[in-house]
């Protein structure tokens, strides 16, 4: 196999492959996803902003790209790395190939890489930054480019909506304000399916404006980056906590915890994929969940916050869910809307509507 592109990691390791998509040099953090299907949903998930996604499943692109399956208007990852890519999809719904979409959105791809070795490296040594570049670039030059490239801290600002917008449903019973920190489309669908009219607002919308919309509940979405980079959201939550039912997922979960005084920390390599077992400590039930995050809430920091633990990750015992009955709020680290992923956790949207119902009756 004749290689023309390569990945240089900040530890000096190199992985050679063949370029596809946009022929761009790009510095980004390397993460891996273990999903078997759903590469289009992964590409359009804003939580992957500024990251190069390594897909552990070996063949990608075989069912093409379908117009109806995007999870946002953005193609968020900075790069895509796969073992093999298929540019002749067999799917009557397909409208584009994977390579065409990467080209259109200026995203470089790399295939022919030993992704098993690369995933094991990320798992064992942790997430690191890397440079996708030409195969002939000298190693020291590539390492200097990585060192000079600043780590961005405005990912949520770049992927959130600019103005508020609405998603209506037939026979609505609840009015929900959803704070867009990088929200996936299926979240809005799930809220609509549970009889919620949804007003989606930008990430930096203040508490007064949110409460002026007279919602029955507030939802805080997933999103990219370090939760400490968006104090505006945790500050807003601190001001409305206890006044109205709150539901947060992923980044929203972390921001709710911070608003109550808890701390977060960065995981060694994060959780990504649709096969993570999570235990509901109150019922003993195990859910197979879809996840995508680099940070977690520090369980040791919960003392004095008023928060209680609802869910724990079975694989590494990290905290996966919190709640406060007094403040009418709950959150989970994983993605109950999935897309892609299992549907074990979709009941959480029903739980949110029941909480809003009880609050209206009170």
**pTM value > 0.85:** yes
User: Helix or strand or coil: residue 53?
Assistant: strand
pLDDT digits (tens, 9 = 90+) for 255-284: 999 999 999 999 999 999 988 999 999 999
Domain that holds residue 240: 156-361
Strand spans (E) along the chain: 5-9, 14-21, 26-33, 51-55, 59-60, 79-81, 84-85, 108-111, 129-134, 165-167, 174-180, 196-202, 217-220, 246-249, 264-280, 286-297, 308-313, 319-324, 329-332
Asked if residue 185 and residue 143 are part of one domain, the reply reads no
CATH number at residue 204: 3.40.50.880
Asked if residue 220 and residue 142 are part of one domain, the reply reads no
**Residue in 271, 276, 293, 335 annotated catalytic:** 335
Of 152, 174, 192, the residue at which a domain comes to its end is: 152
Of 117, 152, 187, the residue at which a domain comes to its end is: 152
- Cβ neighbour number for residue 2 with a 10 Å cutoff: 7
The DSSP result for 120-144, as a single string, is HHHHHH---EEEEEETTS-HHHHHH
Asked if residue 231 and residue 335 are part of one domain, the reply reads yes
The pLDDT value recorded for residue 274 is: 85
pLDDT digits (tens, 9 = 90+) for 312-356: 999 999 999 999 999 999 999 999 998 888 889 999 999 999 999
Asked if residue 112 and residue 167 are part of one domain, the reply reads no
**Residue in 250, 260, 276, 320 annotated catalytic:** 250
Annotation says 335 is catalytic? yes
- Whether residue 176 is predicted with pLDDT greater than 80 in this model: the reply is yes
Please name the residues in contact with 343: beta carbons below 8 A apart, sequence gap of 6 or more: none
Asked if residue 217 and residue 114 are part of one domain, the reply reads no
Asked if residue 319 and residue 199 are part of one domain, the reply reads yes
Whole-angstrom distance, CA of residue 299 vs CA of residue 303: 8
Asked if residue 322 and residue 223 are part of one domain, the reply reads yes
The pLDDT value recorded for residue 301 is: 98
pLDDT digits (tens, 9 = 90+) for 44-80: 999 999 999 999 999 999 999 999 999 999 999 999 9
Which is it for strands 196-202 and 165-167: parallel, antiparallel or unpaired? Answer: antiparallel
Annotation says 260 is catalytic? no
Nearest to 47, CA basis, from 272, 256, 230 = 272
How many structural domains does the chain have?
2
Annotation says 271 is catalytic? no
Whole-angstrom distance, CA of residue 7 vs CA of residue 188: 36
The pLDDT value recorded for residue 82 is: 98
Asked if residue 188 and residue 320 are part of one domain, the reply reads yes
Please name the residues in contact with 123: beta carbons below 8 A apart, sequence gap of 6 or more: 32, 269
CATH number at residue 64: 3.50.30.20
The pLDDT value recorded for residue 186 is: 96
């Amino acid at each position: 196999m004749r290689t023309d592109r390569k990945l240089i990691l900040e530890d000096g390791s190199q992985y050679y492959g063949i370029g596809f998509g946009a022929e761009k040099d790009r510095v980004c953090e390397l993460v891996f996803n273990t999903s078997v299907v759903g590469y289009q949903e992964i590409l359009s998930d804003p939580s992957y902003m500024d990251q190069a996604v390594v897909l552990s499943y070996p063949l990608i692109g075989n069912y093409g790209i379908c117009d109806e399956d995007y999870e946002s208007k953005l193609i968020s990852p900075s790069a895509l790395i796969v073992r093999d890519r298929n540019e002749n999809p067999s799917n009557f719904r397909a409208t584009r190939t994977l390579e065409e979409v990467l080209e259109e959105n200026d995203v470089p791809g790399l295939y022919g890489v030993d992704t098993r070795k690369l995933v094991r490296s990320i798992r064992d040594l942790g997430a690191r930054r890397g440079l996708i570049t030409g195969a002939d670039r000298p190693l020291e030059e590539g390492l200097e480019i990585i060192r000079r490239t600043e780590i961005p801290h405005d990912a949520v600002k770049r992927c959130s909506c600019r103005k508020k917008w609405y998603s209506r449903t037939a026979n609505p019973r609840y009015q929900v304000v959803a704070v867009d920190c990088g929200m996936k489309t299926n979240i809005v669908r799930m809220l609509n399916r549970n009889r919620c009219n949804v007003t989606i607002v930008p990430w930096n919308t203040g508490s007064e404006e949110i409460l002026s919309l007279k919602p029955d509940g507030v939802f805080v979405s997933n999103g990219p980056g370090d939760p400490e980079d968006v104090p505006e959201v945790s500050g807003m939550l601190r001001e409305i906590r206890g006044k109205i039912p709150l539901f947060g997922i992923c980044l929203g979960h972390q921001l709710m915890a911070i608003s109550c005084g808890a701390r977060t920390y960065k995981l060694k390599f994060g959780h990504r994929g649709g096969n993570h077992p999570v235990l509901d400590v109150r019922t003993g039930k195990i859910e197979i969940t879809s996840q995508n995050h680099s940070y977690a809430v520090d369980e040791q920091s919960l003392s004095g916050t008023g928060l209680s633990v609802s869910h724990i990750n079975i694989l590494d015992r990290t905290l996966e869910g919190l709640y406060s009955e007094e403040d009418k709020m709950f959150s989970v680290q994983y993605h109950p809307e999935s897309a892609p992923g299992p549907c074990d956790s979709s009941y959480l949207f029903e739980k949110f509507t029941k909480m809003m119902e009880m609050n209206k009756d009170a």
